[in-house]
Structure 1
């Protein structure tokens, strides 16, 4: 357990790079982002009973999808290191899985990265939905910010009908 906590503790203090780049005063951490995604999945599990999703798997996927960042950092597409991110993440996941004796994260990470199953696709949408919601929150706190690029990126990348419905609901928050 101590080895797993070593990695998760790092994520509690690792700010998300995209928000740092925009000079957000107290940016969301990687752990807070993963937790928010998991909470959204948990809420959906209560309201989307008829949907054919394994929400337990989605929650677990959300919680561990960024654990590799505890070793490699939060690398955004705008950084030079992004070209090597996928390979670095695979190595980090394998190392963490062995070191913390939690082999399940390799399977969950691989499924998330391949993005072929309904669960992985919804987890990806939740990743973008959190970014979308967070951008609204930051702009409400600081009216001088323009984080529309984050919302535009999310709008392009959200694929599932459920994700699009949530996006539509969140977009109403821009007007509130």
Structure 2
């Protein structure tokens, strides 16, 4: 057994376990926007977060000067939907009905509760919401790229009507990330040509 870190208290350990118990709820919560489109058994919020982290890390690693802070990119990507552990994934029609201000307040309250013991993570959540820094903009476009890629996958699997995701021009906002523009163009091409990758790594 390793030596006990004298700076770690039982209370710290409890905070980690509490955070983990809350974060892991994302595994059981579906991305409801897909359900609205008729996709049965869609990806979980946790699976979406994993996909966003993959895209965000790739974009960060390939970004030209100035180089982003990759650790911050990963931190933002990890927490960007963590409030949904309490709120669930509210589909766009619900958000439009409730109003952006009310949704933002609810997300803030949820983030306050979930991330009370980890202020650096809470700050990362705010950074994503504000979407101004290079790191936050990378995660913003990674979120959209993952969504569009998943839409193409579901279309290939004939699992729902996902065409509307390609009709919203705001979805293709590259937020000043040059590589994102190239990826969005590639997604658009595959959408128009009705192509996606098969499941056999070919």
Within the candidate set 99, 113, 116, 2:129 is matched to 113
Residue equivalent to 2:153: 137
C-alpha RMSD over aligned residues: 1.9
Aligned to 2:185: 168
Partner Cα separation in structure 2 for residue 7 and residue 93 of structure 1: 11
Alignment equivalent of 1:36, drawn from 32, 35, 51: 51
CA contact (8 A) 1:38 1:60 kept: no
Name the SS for the 2:92 alignment partner.
Answer: coil
Tell me if structure 1 keeps the 8 A contact 2:59–2:138. no
Residue in 2 that maps onto 1:103: 119
Residue by residue over 1:141-167, the C-alpha shift from the partner in whole angstroms, topping out at 9 and shown as x without a partner, is: 00x743121123364444232221111
The partner residue of 2:74 within 43, 59, 75 is 59
- CA 1:165 to 1:51, structure 2 compared with 1: closer, same or farther past 3 Å? farther
Whether the 8 Å CA contact 1:75–1:82 is kept in 2: the answer is no
Segments of 5+ residues of structure 1 without an aligned counterpart are: none
> Which of 1 and 2 has greater Rg?
2
**CA shift digits 1:110-133 (9 cap, x unpaired):** 111111111111111111111110
Q: CA deviation at 1:172?
A: 3.3
Preserved CA contact (<8 Å) 2:59 2:180: no
State the partner residue of 1:159: 175
Alpha-carbon distance in structure 1 between the residues aligned to 2:65 and 2:48: 27
Q: Partner residue of 1:91?
A: 109
User: Structure 1 residues 122 and 28, CA, compared in 2 at 3 Å: closer, same or farther?
Assistant: same
With the length of structure 2 as denominator, give the TM-score of the two structures.
0.78
Q: How many residue pairs get matched? A: 173
SS of 1:75's partner is coil
Q: Residue 93 of structure 2 aligns to a residue in which SS?
A: coil
